[in-house]
Structure formats: structure tokens, C-alpha cells
Structure 1
């Protein structure tokens, strides 16, 4: 017989439990039962922030501009001679029945292999999840009101949501290296949570509902499914102005490891400096939030579509980051020509691209760390 709890029991547990906990140890992940490799990664990322930030790229090994699934290829590597230090992948589509490919068409089987390859070379893995709307069955961008409430404990779609988490847990627990150790993952659920374009956004739930959603997800993966190879990444849009605004939906120190935001360049950097100033200001606020929460920081997504500005890497992105300490900065995927949008859609340079030489300068900078730099740090070993 299934044990049933009154939904107000869950509200009490998930909203207020973290207020009774002591501050998290600066060098321990929020999951006290995390694997030794996951604990080592978190501790080493803490130390590494003072040295520089890991550079990441979404779907880097799967495809690039004008190629797909060619062994050992990477647009980043072909430009600068090294792979990115962080590999971003997305679980969107995993929740669907009998679905073999993710939201970007990457087969989950191939994704597992790419994750293993990156990890065994010393790289870091991060997973986002563009999960479908469980209320309507449409995509993540369906913002039908009431969706969040429907998946919370006691909601009409709570059991469905748990079945989706079962699939996520199965995938995460299948990520193993040659020696059978679980591969640590930076898990970034409900990304851009302060936006209005996903069903978990600010137009679809109040702050307390979002906190319950996050805390239940953490509880279920950690306590029920025993996924102890996850570090949890809290991720907002880049439009916040104050620390209080940034932390409005923060679910608690005991369920978060890294705090981050997403920020993209729009417009012509030669005519306006909005991205540079806004990102620098957002990083000031993020630093303040990190001082309060004792968490690592990151820019979890950034980039300039098709990078038409030749010196964007050193003249804009590097300047925006400045002296801020970050664990990683990840640019979005290199899809190539997008038939739907009728334009090129990529965020890292490829051989011959206009920003190639500037990217090499960015690569050679002291604070930008790529895969060989990460491998030297032995991030998965306690020091």
C-alpha cells in the first residue's frame, strides 16, 4: 500500500526544512551522501575559481557547423587545439515514451558515450532538462497556467512527474566510467527560472510553489532514487538587479551547490555595450549572493549567435567577466544552419569563422581553462 501524505505536510517539509539546518560546509556538496568523486569535484571547483574558470560548450562532441557524429571532432578543438573543459548536454525528450533522441536530435545512447569520453579525459559534465509540459503534453515552452501546481505533491500530475524523474534517475545512474564509478554531473533543472518562457517560470507559479518543486525534485532523486553523483545548479535569467531579487526563488542551501545565470549578447557590440555592462553588473550581484549562500558561481549559458563581431571573446565576454571568480562559463550549441529560423545558429567559432583568431587569444588567456587544464587539476580526486 502506498503511503499518502497530506500536501500541507510536504509544503511544511520542503519550505521550512532548510531554515533549521546549519550553514553548508563550504567544501561539501548539498548531498552529504555524494560519491567521493562528486565531493572531490565540488571541493576542487571551489579551489579552482581563484585560478580561472572552465570553458564549456553545449553538444560539443555530437555535432558542429556542417558536420554530425564524426569521431573525436569538436569545432572548439579544431580552432584552439583543445576540447572545452565543460560539456553541456540536455535531457529534454527523455520523459517521452519510447523516445531515443533528445530535444536537439542527439541519441541518448550516443550522449552517454560522449559523456563518458569527456569525463575520462578529465572534463566536467553538465545536464539541463527542457522537459515537456506535464499538464498539456506540449513542449517546455507551453506556459499553460497551473502546470507547476499540477506536479507538486497532491497535484493531478504528481505521479506522472515522478515517473519522469524515474527516467532521469535511470539515465544519471547509468553514467559510469570504465572502472564502474558513477560520473559526477552538474544538474541544472528548471533553468532560466526567472523568465516567463518555460512552464516553471515566474508567470506560472509563485515563489513558494517553485521552491517546493525544486525541493521535491532534489528529495526524490537523492533520497528515493539514490542519485548521489549530482551537484545541483540554480539558474536564473540575467535580468535581476539585486541580491534579494536574485534569491527570491532560491530553494535553500541544503538543495543547491552552484548559483548561476544565463546571459546572451544581442545587438551590435560596436554600437552599444549593453551586454558587457549588464553581465558585469549581474556578476557583482551574483558575488553578493554567493557570499551569503557559500555557493560556487557560474554563467551557465552565454554567447553571441553566429559571433559576427570579430573580437567578441576578448573585447566583450572577457571584459564582462573581468576579475570575477567563476567555476565555469558555457556557450550554447553549434547547430549550423537552422531551417526553422532560416539563419546560422552557433555560438562557438569553427575553423575559418570571423572570430577564430580572437577565440585563440581568449583560449590563451590565464583565466580561461580548457580540458587539458582541467585534466591537470585531477578534479575527481581529493587533494
Structure 2
């Protein structure tokens, strides 16, 4: 039980130890008409970095290992007794007005969970595995010229706008019990420096990407969507220049982040830690220059076979850097096609369970009980 953390966070988030000019700097977002609750979330996330980072995982309330759609259940809660501090969701499926997202989660249920999360003071972030508008195939179809097709003069620009309109309806429908629009950390075109999605850098020039990003942000604002904080997200890169090559500019992003997964045995290969530390150093420098927040927007080690992954590998890969949140990927469970388990946070009895509890009990890891509505959105 981290019973001390609420007092610590209350002191921190009330601004007792925060200089006035620091608060003023962090509340400037990419949307000049950002809702008060969204602006407060940004401010409080900024201040929280002095204490630690929010932790959570994708689709945490929808399903887990060997269960699905059980009211109030969550693998993280099963293990720790507490809910995550941050929850990931996906918009994939809204393109076609589908009832469910790309992973089968009903949007009706998703909206209810996002409301519950907001009401109890948690934070939600969203990605969008958008189908390829050029070919009609999925997000992983990298047919040449796909990205160019959604440029303002592109052949699929109007189709892209209609898909955005569907997401506008979704974002505007997110309301808390207080009737206020629920703030969302929105991560479009994620992992853009990879080569596996139709929007990645192998399929778009820097100028094209920046133009679409800016158009998208401006389009949301023009439609009255003012509850988004925009998360610029790359895969692993090796230099400041590479990270910023496709960056739309400080006026069009609120949080800068990257995704990375552990694929090797961390007891024999320390490259995951080393590479993350190098990239966090780059992000830290940019964030300080531009008054941005940083995040580890997607991370994981499938099936977590190393029993000290949390307190050893993951924490060491973050090091001294003050980041806003860490989001582990989803606990899908058994994959029939691949004949293996697919999960990224432990469940009861999993080999890293004890280490995850130790990770949970650390001062710097912030879960649901470490935050509250009054602290995050006011």
C-alpha cells in the first residue's frame, strides 16, 4: 500500500512547490481552445513527473489472460489490488462505423470504461490502427503512395476526412459524470519512423507527414474537438535529427514519445536498456527546450519470461529521466493461430508477479490510488 503517495501528490499538484512561471509554461497546449480539464491534466502530468510516472496497459478493463468482459476486472488489479493509472484504447474500426474496435472491443463498452476511468481520476490514451484508405486493406498494408493519397489534393482526402468525422463523433461523445468532455492523450500515426504501417516514413516524405499531421489537428479543432492532447510517437531512432525529421513542430504536439519492445533475454543482452536511455536523453533535451512532456508510449516483453523485468530491465531503461507515463501492451491471452500466450503485464501466478508487485510499491510508479479526479483534472 502506497498510503504516503496521496499526501505527497496533493502537495505537489496543488502547486505548493511549483513556481508560477513553470505552471504557465506547461499549460500552453497545441489547441488554444483546449478545455479546462484537458489543460489541467497536462499541467498535472507535468508536475507529476517530479514524483514518478503513470503506469498501465492497453485494453486493461476489456480482457486479460483467460477472461473477457468481466465487470471490474483487470489483470493489474488482480495482481496488485489497484487499477492502472493510465489505460490504452484504439480507434481502429471507427473508419467503417464498426461496433467494435480492431481487437473486438465494443465501442459502447469502451466509452463506458473511459467514463469510469475519468470519474475515478485515471487517464486514457488512444491510438488508431487505421485501415489503409488507398487500398482498403489494414493498417499494415504499405502499398506505395498510400500516405500521399490523403494529402489535401490526394485521391483519398475526402475519404480520410469522412473517417476523421467518425472519430470526431466518438471524441465528442466522451463525457464524464460531471458532463465535461473527457481529456484524451491522442497518439495518431504512431511508430511513424518504422516501416510496418502505411503512414510510416518509408511511405511518406517529412513534408507530407507534417502537412497531414497539421491538417488533422486543425480539422479536429475546426470540428469542436478540444479535449485532446496530441502525442507525437516514433519507434526506435538513434539521433535527435532522426527523431525530429517528421516532427510537425512545437505548436502541433503536446507530448513526445517512442515505443520499444524487448525481444532478447535481458540477462544476456542489455541493448534494450542502453538504447532506451540514449533515446530518453534525446527526448529530455527536446522536451526542456520546447516545454513538452515525454512518455514511453508503448513497451513490452511478450510473456515476460524474466522474473525481474519490472524492477531491473524496465526501470533501468528509464533511468533518471522524468517521464509522464509508461504503457505496456495488451494482455490478449492465448493466441490460437500462433499457439502461444500473448500478454505484457503479469497475471496471478505469472513468473514476474512478485517483481511487478515490488514495482507497484515503488514511490515512482503511479497507479489509480495514487491519483484522483481532483488532482488530475482540476
* Residue equivalent to 1:84: 84
Structure 1 stretches of 4+ moved >4 Å: none
Matching of residues 190-205 of structure 1 within 5 Å: 190-205=189-204
For residue 174 of structure 1, report the CA deviation from its aligned partner. 0.2
* Residue equivalent to 1:178: 177
For residue 341 of structure 1, report the CA deviation from its aligned partner. 2.4
* Residue equivalent to 1:280: 277
Instruction: Report the aligned-residue RMSD.
Output: 1.1
TM-score by length of 1: 0.91
For residue 291 of structure 1, report the CA deviation from its aligned partner. 2.1
Q: Secondary structure at the match of 1:378?
A: helix
Aligned match for 2:235, one of 234, 237, 242: 237
Q: What is the alpha-carbon distance in structure 2 between the residues aligned to residue 203 and residue 319 of structure 1? A: 31
Q: Is the 8 A contact 2:118 2:373 kept in 1?
A: no
Q: Secondary structure at the match of 1:165?
A: helix
1:129 equivalenced with 2:143 (yes/no): no
* Residue equivalent to 1:21: none
Gaps of 5+ in 2: 1-23
Aligned match for 1:324, one of 302, 315, 321: 321
* Residue equivalent to 2:14: none
* Residue equivalent to 1:94: 94
Q: Secondary structure at the match of 1:105?
A: coil
Q: What is the alpha-carbon distance in structure 1 between the residues aligned to residue 337 and residue 249 of structure 2? A: 39
TM-score by length of 2: 0.92
Task: After superposing the two structures, state which structure 1 stretch, 334-343 or 61-70, moved more.
Answer: 334-343
* Residue equivalent to 2:141: 142
CA deviations 1:208-258 (Å, max 9, x no partner) are 0000110010010112x11000000000002x1121211111001111000
Q: Is the 8 A contact 1:54 1:374 kept in 2?
A: no
Matching of residues 254-269 of structure 1 within 5 Å: 254-269=251-266
For residue 93 of structure 1, report the CA deviation from its aligned partner. 1.1
Q: What is the alpha-carbon distance in structure 2 between the residues aligned to residue 279 and residue 207 of structure 1? A: 24
Q: What is the alpha-carbon distance in structure 2 between the residues aligned to residue 190 and residue 25 of structure 1? A: 27
Q: Secondary structure at the match of 1:114?
A: helix
For residue 25 of structure 1, report the CA deviation from its aligned partner. 3.9
Q: Is the 8 A contact 2:79 2:346 kept in 1?
A: yes
Gaps of 5+ in 1: 1-23
For residue 285 of structure 1, report the CA deviation from its aligned partner. 1.2
Aligned match for 1:361, one of 350, 353, 358: 358
Task: After superposing the two structures, state which structure 1 stretch, 187-196 or 244-253, moved more.
Answer: 244-253
Q: What is the alpha-carbon distance in structure 2 between the residues aligned to residue 25 and residue 191 of structure 1? A: 26
Q: Is the 8 A contact 2:26 2:42 kept in 1?
A: no
1:57 equivalenced with 2:54 (yes/no): no
Q: Is the 8 A contact 1:60 1:87 kept in 2?
A: yes
CA deviations 1:43-97 (Å, max 9, x no partner) are 1111111111000210000000000000000000110111110010000011014
For residue 377 of structure 1, report the CA deviation from its aligned partner. 6.4
For residue 292 of structure 1, report the CA deviation from its aligned partner. 2.6
Instruction: Kindly tell me the number of residue pairs found equivalent between the two proteins.
Output: 355
For residue 286 of structure 1, report the CA deviation from its aligned partner. 1.1
Q: What is the alpha-carbon distance in structure 2 between the residues aligned to residue 192 and residue 330 of structure 1? A: 14
* Residue equivalent to 1:47: 47
Task: After superposing the two structures, state which structure 1 stretch, 27-36 or 253-262, moved more.
Answer: 27-36
Q: What is the alpha-carbon distance in structure 1 between the residues aligned to residue 189 and residue 373 of structure 2? A: 32
* Residue equivalent to 1:302: 299
Q: Secondary structure at the match of 1:379?
A: helix
CA deviations 1:114-169 (Å, max 9, x no partner) are 11111111100101000000000000000011111111101110000000000001
Q: Is the 8 A contact 1:60 1:333 kept in 2?
A: yes
Q: Is the 8 A contact 2:359 2:365 kept in 1?
A: yes
